[in-house]
Each structure stands twice: as structure tokens, then as C-alpha cells.
Amino acid sequence: MFWLHVACFFGGAFLANFVPHFVAGVSGRPFPSPFATPPFRGRSSPAVNVLWGLVNLAAAYALLALVASLEPKNVSQVSVAAAGFGLASLGIARSLGRLQRGST
């Protein structure tokens, strides 16, 4: 049971990371990614961000659907996945805020 909750948590985190990369990519805007120079601080092309977003979506699907067999009616699983999504979202927002202010 513990490992299923770990899979739910990280599945939620990958889902949260999918959103900004995919939205920036399909909007045609460069966005920081691990493939930029410098990594995580430089900006990657929209195409790279769409692909990175899709990799994150695939990881989220694999963890949530295939590993954890997430059941929407299972409050425990959904709560843990939501916690992963929320904490990752806050971390992403904090990191992007620092990048936009120009600090490291």
C-alpha cells in the first residue's frame, strides 16, 4: 500500500510538471527546461517543451494508471495524488518566480 501511495504522489507531481511545459510549448513560448543552457534556467524551444510535457504526462499516466491503478472513488489515492500535484505546483511556481526576478 505504501508504494502505491508513493506512485500516486509522484504521478501527481509529474502531472503538475506537464502543465506549464505543454502550455508554454503549444503557445509558442520558450520556457525553462532541463535541456536548456544552463539547465533549468535557460529557455528551451516550444517544440522541446511540448515533448518534455508529453514525457511528463506519460510518466504521470504510468504511475497513476498502470502502477497505482488509481481509482477516482478511492479518497486515499486521490488525496495523495492531489498532494503531489499541489506541492509540485507550489515548487514550480516558487522556482519560476525566482527565475523571473533574476536570482538563482
| Residue 58, C-alpha cell as written in the block | 506519460
The helix-helix angle for 2-26 and 75-101 (nearest 10°) equals 40
* Torsion over CA: 72, 74, 77, 82 (sign): positive
Q: For all residues of the chain together, what is the average pLDDT?
A: 94
Total of domains in the chain: 1
Q: How many CB atoms lie under 10 A from the CB of residue 4?
A: 17
Chain segment 66-91, per-residue pLDDT in tens: 999 999 999 999 999 999 999 999 99
Domain that holds residue 93: 2-101
pTM of the entire predicted model? 0.91
pLDDT at 79: 97
pLDDT at 103: 56
